[in-house]
Structure 1
Amino acid sequence: MEPYEVPMQPLRTTRHKCSACFKQYKKMEHLIEHIKSSYHSVHDPKCGVCNKHCKSFESLREHVAGPLSKVNCASIFAERGCILCLKICSSVDSLNEHKEMCLRTTPRPIDTIEMLFPEDQMDMLYSESEMDISNEISSVRRREAVAIDCEMVGGGSDSSLDLCARVCLVDEDEKLIFHTYVLPQIPVTDYRYEITGITEENLRDAMPLKEVRERILQILYNGESISRVRLNGGKAKVLVGHNLEQHLACLKMDYPDHLLRFEIQVGFHDPYQDSVSVMRLYKRIRSQEHPTEVTIWVSNSPLSYSSSSDPWKPMAHESMTPDELLAISKSNYRCWCLDSPEASR
């Protein structure tokens, strides 16, 4: 008689899958630690096909169009995905309509642009009557943004010192609101003409740095007091641009961190084109529709959670589902969508 044999049972291991990046963990506590440290949130760039969260738009591009992209995601993206903003449209016709709005032409060079306010009118920008109008507008509109770009020449014995020699500001409608050459405070040893297009002649009658700084701050403060600007911004404008830290240092200018939106990479080396490009990128991200408050269920009880709360206060994390954990996670940066009028209400 054959001995009784117990049939082999397949080994089943419970895997805990992150609802954002789809990583899997053997233990629930490992998933919880992952969610805490990854800062997944509704602000992450997300694949329009599989809904996977990515850390950046570059990693999202790799996911849908890179050499190791997912077959299904890549196939759908190739058919009806926007190569610029990476949005997946519902149809080819919808994609064609989207491209008309998304694919913008290159901004014109600054020499072809007329300034919105001539220099002799700058002092009139914030007259008493205009201040009243500004107060009325600011009460119903979002905080407006101004984009800045500076062109640098070289100073010092080895020309390694960056000296601001040209500055440009544009508003959200891509209108040129301020542009001038800037007189460096020390002698220029390299005009970097191949990059900047600036010559000695351009700087001969240039505006002194102190006056340039005063004009820029006048525009940015928007008639608001310095104390109010530093406290909560008031009516002051958001300042956007590439490498703002360097630009502000070269202008010897301070502006509150909570009004800065920086590190937008462009590279025309034309101050107007650069300013318009960073403004377009800023407005594109600001227009994204990200929910700012969600309701999750823990132990069959609703728990309202807003982006201003601490998501990791003591609660029953172990009993939460991956979706619930993702719902209480928040980003470690301030998304520009929070500058939108909907988010400010």
Structure 2
Amino acid sequence: MILASPLFQTVRIRNKCAACFRQFNKIEHLVEHMRTSYHSIHEPMCGICKKHCRSFESLREHLIGPLPKQECKNIFNLRGCKFCLTILDSPNARRIHQERCQFSSGLIGRFANLGFRDNLTMDGYTREPQVVALACKMIGGGSDGSLDLCGKVCIIDEHENMIFHTYVKPQIPVTNCRYETTGIRPEFLRDAMPLKQVQKKIQDFLCNGEPMWKIRPRAGRARILVGHGLDHDLDSLQVEYPSIMIRDTAKYPPLMKTSKLSNSLKYLTQAYLGYDIQTGIQDPYEDCVATMRLYNRMRSQVHRREDCPLASDPQNRNNFASWRQNELERMSPEEMMALSRSDYYCWCFD
């Protein structure tokens, strides 16, 4: 058996990424990796070995997947929360934490009994943007009923209070109400609010008195919009809203699959909140609550505040510029990690 020399081992350790633990034969390869990987403190991280992962799904695989890191798996089985993937101090602390971490779906039935609200109002104004969640249930149009039309829409506030909940009358004929999942019948749409009226109400409510061109992410009146697959929902409502004010659980990198594809809202709710949704007849209020809870969970992560959190910010753009190659090659992996920035906006900055 041939053992690697101590010198070779030292080189390998020096060329080991401080975030994902990949090892490189040459320091210039590590520099190139850091230049393109966008590792940051906002990535999901194993609370045991401190490895950074691309998404919570990657972290889940690292801890309890088909081929987990055995040491991390053993500790996680004793002290890890299966919902938020946090490592607690003791098995008893985990039990107490997990009881709080797992949400109950019983709240949904209680709020669903409030019926319909067609006046969009929200009390109070704060310096920080107000947060609302929106969801739609689609019915079918077109000759074969495959064209998605909004048949029902719901908006809730940050505390899961329903502030808008109504049937929507599409502009074209409905050929399939999809009753088995939507619970919508043709007679429910006869006197429903017309799409144009719904569109104006929602557009005005989201902008909250600000012109679209003037909306900014901070110190403005426009509201942060939370949802899952919001492009589809807003398109069906014919509502335009700036992407800087949208928080989409289908597109947020830490909540996506390892392959960078979207997870379903049903899976995210079961895996990270601990209860099932979208069983039988569905109501958009249920989806609103799930997306708001996911958003609040991601937003509550404790990260270091950064004045320039994104790699695209001018102050960070030259951190790994090619003209700094020699300087970067003299740095340790930890020093390079300190320079690296994310390529997505972390919701903890909200």
Q: TM-score under structure 2 normalisation?
A: 0.82
- Residue from 288, 291, 297 that aligns with 2:301: 288
**In structure 2, how many angstroms separate the alpha carbons of the residues matched to 1:92 and 1:144?**
37
Cα separation, partners in 2 of 1:71 and 1:111, compared to 1, 3 Å = closer
Question: Which structure has the larger Rg?
Answer: 1
Q: How does 1:240-259 map to 2 (within 5 A)?
A: 240-259=226-245
- The CA deviation at 1:161 is 1.0
- The CA deviation at 1:9 is 9.9
Match of 1:329 in 2: 340
- 1:29 alignment partner, SS class: helix
Match of 1:4 in 2: none
1:279 corresponds to 2:292: yes
Cα separation, partners in 2 of 1:329 and 1:217, compared to 1, 3 Å = same
- The CA deviation at 1:216 is 1.2
Q: How does 1:111-126 map to 2 (within 5 A)?
A: 112-114=112-114, 118-119=117-118, 122=120, 125=121
- 2:197 alignment partner, SS class: helix
**Counterpart amino acid of residue 285 in structure 1:** M
Match of 1:96 in 2: 95
Identity %: 46
- What CA deviation, in whole Å up to 9, does each residue of 1:136-182 have, x standing for no partner? xx23xx32211010000111112221101100001110000101000
Cα separation, partners in 2 of 1:231 and 1:284, compared to 1, 3 Å = closer
1:47 corresponds to 2:60: no
Count of aligned pairs: 308
Cα separation, partners in 2 of 1:249 and 1:9, compared to 1, 3 Å = closer
Match of 1:342 in 2: none
- The CA deviation at 1:11 is 7.5
Consecutive unaligned residues in structure 2, runs of 5 or more = 251-263, 267-277
Higher relative contact order (CA 8 A, sep 6+): 2
- Normalized per residue, the structure richer in strand is 1
- The CA deviation at 1:289 is 1.1
Kindly indicate whether the alpha-carbon contact (under 8 Å) linking 2:249 and 2:291 is maintained by their aligned counterparts in 1.
no
Match of 1:27 in 2: 26
Measured on the aligned residues, the alpha-carbon RMSD in Å equals 2.4
**In structure 2, how many angstroms separate the alpha carbons of the residues matched to 1:306 and 1:281?**
22
**Counterpart amino acid of residue 259 in structure 1:** M
1:162 corresponds to 2:148: yes
- The CA deviation at 1:273 is 0.7
Consecutive unaligned residues in structure 1, runs of 5 or more = 1-7, 295-304, 340-345
**In structure 2, how many angstroms separate the alpha carbons of the residues matched to 1:189 and 1:74?**
51
**In structure 2, how many angstroms separate the alpha carbons of the residues matched to 1:251 and 1:23?**
46
Cα separation, partners in 2 of 1:9 and 1:238, compared to 1, 3 Å = closer
- The CA deviation at 1:93 is 2.2
- 1:25 alignment partner, SS class: coil
**Counterpart amino acid of residue 192 in structure 2:** A
**In structure 2, how many angstroms separate the alpha carbons of the residues matched to 1:286 and 1:256?**
20
